[in-house]
Amino acid sequence: MAECCGSKQTEAGSGSCCGGDKKKTVLVYACSGGANVAEIADKAARELMFGGCGTMFCLAGLGAGIPGMIQMAKDADVNLVIDGCPVDCAKKVFERAGVTNFAYVKVTDLGIEKKKGIRCTPEQIEQVVAKCREVLAAQK
């Protein structure tokens, strides 16, 4: 569902329309890869969205070069990019798309080890969410 006017941030997917208050457009992207740290990045992004910090958007859309999605990222007030590991896939997608206005969090920078075949924990997600909130607060 399209989000109207860039002002609706707390209810992703809402079709409600605007004309009212001017909030910053905060878009959140996660690498959403296969390892535990990518699962953390993905779930942290969703937690931020449902917590009203911004709206999670499709990193694959940028990777695919969808013009509207690239322009949307360029026009956002804040883009928060969350990578799981030092391969920096999400960051590289942004760079290749020519979108330079983004804040950045990397899960492994927070001392969380990258592993395959294990599930992440709620505590790890909360740790990343807290870091993201801190980074977003610095953007405002």
Asked if 45 and 54 touch (Cβ cutoff 8 Å), the reply is no
25 binds another protein (CB under 8 A): yes
The amino acid occupying position 67 is: P
Of these, 10, 18, 98, 113, which contacts another protein (CB under 8 A)? 18
Q: Report d(CA 57, CA 47) in Å as an integer.
A: 13
Tell the smallest beta-carbon distance from residue 55 to another protein (Å).
8
**Ranges within 46-105 binding another protein (CB under 8 A):** 57, 61, 66-72, 75-76
Tokens encoding 128: 């990343």
Query: Strand pairing partners for 97?
Result: none
Question: In degrees rounded to 5, what are phi and psi of residue 44?
Answer: -65, -40
| Residue 75 or 134 having the CB closest to another protein | 75
Query: Strand pairing partners for 106?
Result: 83
Tell the smallest beta-carbon distance from residue 134 to another protein (Å).
25
Q: Report d(CA 62, CA 58) in Å as an integer.
A: 7
Span interacting with another protein, options 16-24, 86-94, 110-118, 123-131, rule CB under 8 A: 16-24
Tell the smallest beta-carbon distance from residue 10 to another protein (Å).
14
Query: Can you give the binding site for another protein, defined by CB under 8 A?
Result: 1-6, 15, 17-19, 25, 57, 61, 66-72, 75-76
